[in-house]
Structure 1
Amino acid sequence: MSWNIRCFNREKLTNLKQYLDEMTRKIVSKNRLYNDSYNIERSNFIDVIVLLETWSTENDQFDTYKIKNYNNFSITRPKGKKGGGILIYIHKKFQAIKIDSMINGDIEFLLLKLIIEEECWFILGIYRKPQGDLERFLDCFEEIVAKVDVQRLIIAGDINVNILKACHKTSSYIDCIQSLNLKFNEAVTRDNMLFRSSGSLIDHCLISHDIDNYLAFTSTKITKMSDHNFVLLLLQLKTFSKRKVRLTKSILNETTAIDNINWALFNWNVDPHDGNVDFYWNSLYKTISKLIDDSTTKRTIRLPKNESTLPMWADKKYQSMLHTLNNLSDKIERFKLNGRPFDLLECKYKEMNSIRTEYGSIIAKLFYKRMSLRGNKEAWEIINELAGRKKEIQQLILITNNNEIIVNEAEIAQTFQSKFISIVGKPLNPIKSLRNKYFGPLVSKTFVFDEVSPLYINNVIHSLPNKKSTGLDNISTKVMKGISELFSIHLCNFFNIMVRTGKYPDRLKSSIIVPIYKGGNPTSADNYRPISLLSCVDKVLEKVIFGQMNEWMEKNHLHDNYQYGFRGRRGCQEAIAMALNIIGEALDTYGSVIVISFDISKAFDNVNLIILLRKLYFLGFRSTAHDLIESFLTSRRQTVKYKESLSDSEEIMRGVPQGSNGGPFLFTCMINDLQNLSTTSKLIKYADDLLLILPIETEILDEYRNVSNLEHDMNILYDYYDSNDLLLNYEKSNYTFIGKVKDTHLEAFMSDKGISKCESINYLGFELSSNVYFTDQINKVAKAMGNGLNALKHMKKELTISALKQFYFSHIFSRVSYCSFALMRAKSTDIDRLQHLQNKIIKVIYGLPKMFSTSELYKTVACDSLTIIGTIYLSLIVMVKKCIISNDDSLPDVHCFRPSARNSNVYVRKAKNRYLKRGIIHIGCNLYNQLPENIKQLHEVSLFKKHVRTYLLRHTDSLLRQGQFTHNKIAL
Structure 2
Amino acid sequence: MQGLKVKLNEIDAFLCDRRDLGILGVTEHWCRDGELALYSPHDLYLASSFCRVAKRGGGSCIFLRNKLVAKELRKLVDLSVESVCEISAVELESPRVIICCIYRPPDQSNFDVFFQRLEELINDVLKYNKMVVIMGDLNVHFEATHNAVYTHQRRLIEDLISSFGLHLSHNEITRRPYFGQTGEPSSLDVFLTNFERQWYDSFVSDTGFSDHQGVELRLFHEVQSPSPSTITFRKSKDGNIAQLRFCLSSQTWFSVYGEADVGGATNEFLRIFLWALNLACPWVKKRAATGNNSSRVPFDEVLVQLRDDYVFFRELALSTGDEEFSQRARECRGRYRHAVQSFKRKCNDEKILTATNKSRASWDVVAAELNSRSKNSVDMSGFDSEGFSRSFSEVFNRRLPSDATEQFYACLSSAPSSRGGFSLRPVSVEEVYSAICSLKSSKSADYFGISSWLVKRVADLVVEPLSFIINWCFESGCFPDCLKISEITPIPKKGDRASYDGFRPISKLPIFAKIMEKLVLSQLMDFIEGGEVLHPRQYGFRKKRSTASAACSVILDVLQSLEDRETTSIELYDLSKAFDLVPFNLLLAKLAYYGFDSCALAFFTNYLHGWKQVVNFNGRRSSEEDIPCGIKQGSGLGPCLFIIYINDLPFHAQHVSSFSLFADDITAVVRGSSFELQRENAVHIKSLVEGWCSVNALIINSDKTQTVNFLLNGPLSQSATLLGLEIDNRLSWAKHIDSLAAKLSSCNFMIRRLRGCVSEDVLR
TM-score (norm 1): 0.45
* Equivalent in the alignment of 1:345: none
Aligned ranges for residues 279-318 of structure 1 at < 5 Å? 281-282=284-285, 307=310
* Equivalent in the alignment of 2:274: 267
| Larger mean Cα displacement after TM superposition, 783-792 or 642-651 | 783-792
The answer (yes or no) to whether the contact 2:296–2:368 under 8 Å persists in 1 is no
Query: Does residue 657 of structure 2 align to residue 681 of structure 1?
Result: yes
Secondary structure of 2:659's counterpart equals strand
* Equivalent in the alignment of 1:257: none
Secondary structure of 1:445's counterpart equals coil
Query: Does residue 430 of structure 2 align to residue 455 of structure 1?
Result: yes
CA distance in 2 between counterparts of 1:373 and 1:558 reads 44
CA distance in 2 between counterparts of 1:197 and 1:511 reads 30
Note closer, same or farther for the CA distance 1:795–1:291 as it changes in structure 2 (3 Å cut).
Answer: closer
Secondary structure of 1:704's counterpart equals helix
Structure 1 residue 731: Cα displacement: 0.4
CA distance in 2 between counterparts of 1:387 and 1:326 reads 16
Query: Does residue 647 of structure 2 align to residue 672 of structure 1?
Result: yes
CA distance in 1 between counterparts of 2:299 and 2:660 reads 52
Structure 1 residue 598: Cα displacement: 1.3
Structure 1 residue 211: Cα displacement: 5.7
* Equivalent in the alignment of 1:781: 740
The answer (yes or no) to whether the contact 2:366–2:753 under 8 Å persists in 1 is no
Structure 1 residue 694: Cα displacement: 1.4
Aligned ranges for residues 396-415 of structure 1 at < 5 Å? 396=379, 407-410=381-384, 413-415=385-387
Secondary structure of 2:545's counterpart equals coil
Deviations 1:319-347 (A, max 9, x none): 989736989xxxxxxxxxxxxxxxxxxxx
| Larger mean Cα displacement after TM superposition, 433-442 or 452-461 | 433-442
Deviations 1:67-99 (A, max 9, x none): xxxxxxxxxxxxxxxxxxxxxxxxxxxxxxxxx
* Equivalent in the alignment of 1:110: none
| Larger mean Cα displacement after TM superposition, 510-519 or 520-529 | 520-529
CA distance in 1 between counterparts of 2:688 and 2:364 reads 51
Aligned ranges for residues 489-888 of structure 1 at < 5 Å? 489-590=464-565, 592-678=567-653, 679-698=655-674, 704-740=676-712, 759-805=718-764
**Matched residues, number:** 481
CA distance in 1 between counterparts of 2:634 and 2:743 reads 28
Secondary structure of 1:677's counterpart equals helix
Note closer, same or farther for the CA distance 1:569–1:277 as it changes in structure 2 (3 Å cut).
Answer: closer
The answer (yes or no) to whether the contact 1:409–1:645 under 8 Å persists in 2 is no
Amino acid at match of 2:334: H
Deviations 1:629-685 (A, max 9, x none): 000000111112223222210111110101211111111111111132234222111
CA distance in 1 between counterparts of 2:598 and 2:311 reads 76
The answer (yes or no) to whether the contact 1:386–1:794 under 8 Å persists in 2 is no
Structure 1 residue 435: Cα displacement: 5.2
Percent pairwise identity:
22
Structure 1 residue 792: Cα displacement: 2.4
* Equivalent in the alignment of 2:345: 367
Note closer, same or farther for the CA distance 1:384–1:570 as it changes in structure 2 (3 Å cut).
Answer: farther
* Equivalent in the alignment of 2:250: 210
* Equivalent in the alignment of 1:418: 390
Structure 1: segments with no counterpart, 5+ residues? 1-195, 214-261, 298-302, 311-317, 328-360, 398-406, 744-756, 806-972
Structure 1 residue 439: Cα displacement: 1.8
Structure 1 residue 459: Cα displacement: 0.8
CA distance in 1 between counterparts of 2:348 and 2:679 reads 64
Deviations 1:368-388 (A, max 9, x none): 247879996796453353899
The answer (yes or no) to whether the contact 1:363–1:799 under 8 Å persists in 2 is no
Pairing partner for 2:376 from 393, 403, 408 = 393
Pairing partner for 1:323 from 328, 334, 337 = 334
The answer (yes or no) to whether the contact 2:567–2:678 under 8 Å persists in 1 is no
Amino acid at match of 2:671: P
CA distance in 2 between counterparts of 1:511 and 1:567 reads 25
* Equivalent in the alignment of 2:103: none
Deviations 1:449-487 (A, max 9, x none): 111111111111111111122221111001110110121
Aligned ranges for residues 896-911 of structure 1 at < 5 Å? none
Secondary structure of 2:579's counterpart equals coil
Structure 1 residue 556: Cα displacement: 0.7
CA distance in 2 between counterparts of 1:585 and 1:578 reads 11
CA distance in 1 between counterparts of 2:478 and 2:491 reads 32
Deviations 1:461-517 (A, max 9, x none): 111111122221111001110110121111111111111100100111110122344
Secondary structure of 2:667's counterpart equals strand
The answer (yes or no) to whether the contact 1:426–1:654 under 8 Å persists in 2 is no
Query: Does residue 444 of structure 2 align to residue 472 of structure 1?
Result: no
Amino acid at match of 1:417: S
Amino acid at match of 2:508: L
Secondary structure of 1:560's counterpart equals coil
CA distance in 2 between counterparts of 1:285 and 1:203 reads 29
CA distance in 2 between counterparts of 1:307 and 1:658 reads 56
The answer (yes or no) to whether the contact 2:671–2:681 under 8 Å persists in 1 is no
CA distance in 1 between counterparts of 2:758 and 2:431 reads 42
Note closer, same or farther for the CA distance 1:308–1:773 as it changes in structure 2 (3 Å cut).
Answer: farther
Note closer, same or farther for the CA distance 1:308–1:718 as it changes in structure 2 (3 Å cut).
Answer: farther
CA distance in 1 between counterparts of 2:311 and 2:634 reads 51
* Equivalent in the alignment of 1:17: none
CA distance in 2 between counterparts of 1:435 and 1:719 reads 9
Amino acid at match of 1:408: G
Amino acid at match of 2:285: N
Amino acid at match of 1:656: I
CA distance in 1 between counterparts of 2:717 and 2:433 reads 50
Amino acid at match of 2:431: Y
Amino acid at match of 2:378: Q
CA distance in 1 between counterparts of 2:240 and 2:621 reads 36
Secondary structure of 1:569's counterpart equals coil
Root-mean-square deviation over aligned CA pairs: 4.3
Structure 1 residue 537: Cα displacement: 0.4
Deviations 1:380-424 (A, max 9, x none): 453353899995623255xxxxxxxxx4342xx222222222223
Deviations 1:6-62 (A, max 9, x none): xxxxxxxxxxxxxxxxxxxxxxxxxxxxxxxxxxxxxxxxxxxxxxxxxxxxxxxxx
Greater RCO, 1 or 2 (C-alpha within 8 Å, sep 6+): 2
Query: Does residue 412 of structure 2 align to residue 439 of structure 1?
Result: yes
Amino acid at match of 1:765: G
| Larger mean Cα displacement after TM superposition, 638-647 or 455-464 | 638-647
* Equivalent in the alignment of 1:818: none
CA distance in 2 between counterparts of 1:454 and 1:322 reads 60
Structure 1 residue 779: Cα displacement: 1.6
Pairing partner for 1:382 from 347, 354, 364 = 364
Structure 1 residue 364: Cα displacement: 4.8
The answer (yes or no) to whether the contact 1:562–1:683 under 8 Å persists in 2 is yes
* Equivalent in the alignment of 1:843: none
Structure 1 residue 759: Cα displacement: 3.2
Structure 2: segments with no counterpart, 5+ residues? 1-237, 254-268, 301-305, 314-328
CA distance in 2 between counterparts of 1:687 and 1:651 reads 25
CA distance in 2 between counterparts of 1:591 and 1:384 reads 51
CA distance in 2 between counterparts of 1:653 and 1:729 reads 22
CA distance in 1 between counterparts of 2:437 and 2:294 reads 35
CA distance in 2 between counterparts of 1:474 and 1:390 reads 30
CA distance in 2 between counterparts of 1:291 and 1:439 reads 53
